[in-house]
Homo-oligomer: A and B are copies of this chain.
Amino acid sequence: MKKRKSVISRTFRIISYKLRHDLKQNLYIIIFGTDTFLGKAFDVFLMIAILLSILITIFDSMVNSIPWLQTTCYILEGFFTLFFTAEYIARLYCSPEPKKYALSFFGIIDLLAILPPYLSFFFINARYMMIIRMFRLIRVFRVFKLFNFMSEGNMLLRSLQMSMKKILVFFLFVVILIVTLGTVMFVFESNVPDSKFSSIPQSIYWAAVTMTTVGYGDMTPVTDAGRFFATVVMVLGYTIIAVPTGIVSSEMIKEMHRFNGKDVVCPHCHRQGHDGDANYCKYCGHELYN
């Protein structure tokens, strides 16, 4: 009881003391920092606010037949939106490089997360998009060192970045394939009466559903030729899934090799990146271990 009281009074003293000094710098320490007590407290508070606003949004979508509940949700959503807008402005204000923050991944997420409610004046359902603020949780997780404790988490990300270029080539190829296969299916199936393959975009949708092995079954071939061709598309989709898997696997193994014992420093040129079984520095030729 006493401790809680002292914590509160201490908090107040710290706040009032700090406010007398540089407001901007203090705001930066509280909002962006995670090392001080207030910085941590702010992050915890932010996480709770984010979770609450997400739950209210989800609840809102479930009660759209009960007017008074929906109105309550709407007001609460407005309140949270004002808070997050204020927070975004504060971030812009206290950041040493506002432009860099605004264009960073989290800066864009922060902006996107407060825009939807304002857009809902034009398109009522747009407010639900505020659920994108869920991605903000990733930043808050850092407070609890949920990601830090696994230095391997970075390894995961790095190997994904490395394979991004190859995966993009794969994507492009899949898109071309889906469009082509969908059109071929359209030729086979469009002449059937009441066919669901009524246009090429519809057939492309079918090709995507089939190639990715999702298989809703809302559009299925009914002709013999269509069914045979669908079988080919399926086996194709079943096989080429091996490509992204192979890309990511090989990049991860590469990253793992780099990670394992690659941090031995050459005593001569002080460089890293040697193999586990190397005797001599591969850069300057000096012996590694002596």
Number of copies: 4
CA distance A273 to B218 in the complex (A): 52
CA distance A134 to B210 in the complex (A): 20
Cβ 8 A contact of A128, one of B187, B217, B224: B187
Chain A contact residues, majority secondary structure? helix
Distance of A224 from chain B, by nearest CB (Å):
7
Do A231 and B205 contact each other (CB < 8 Å), given the known contacts A61-B199, A131-B200, A165-B152?
yes
A contact set with B: CB distance below 8 Å: 54, 57-58, 61-62, 64, 125-126, 128-129, 131-132, 134-135, 137-138, 147, 150, 152-153, 156, 159-160, 165-167, 169-171, 174-176, 178-180, 183-184, 186-187, 190-191, 199-202, 204-205, 208-218, 220, 224, 227-228, 230-231, 234-235, 237-239, 241-256, 260, 271-287
A180 / chain B contacts, CB cutoff of 8 Å: 131-132, 134-135
Do A187 and B275 contact each other (CB < 8 Å), given the known contacts A156-B166, A205-B230, A238-B212?
no
CA distance A200 to B63 in the complex (A): 11
CA distance A135 to B134 in the complex (A): 36
Q: Are A169 and B186 closer than 8 Å at their CB atoms?
A: no
Q: Are A199 and B247 closer than 8 Å at their CB atoms?
A: no
Do A212 and B213 contact each other (CB < 8 Å), given the known contacts A134-B180, A231-B204, A244-B242?
yes
Cβ 8 A contact of A166, one of B152, B249, B253: B152
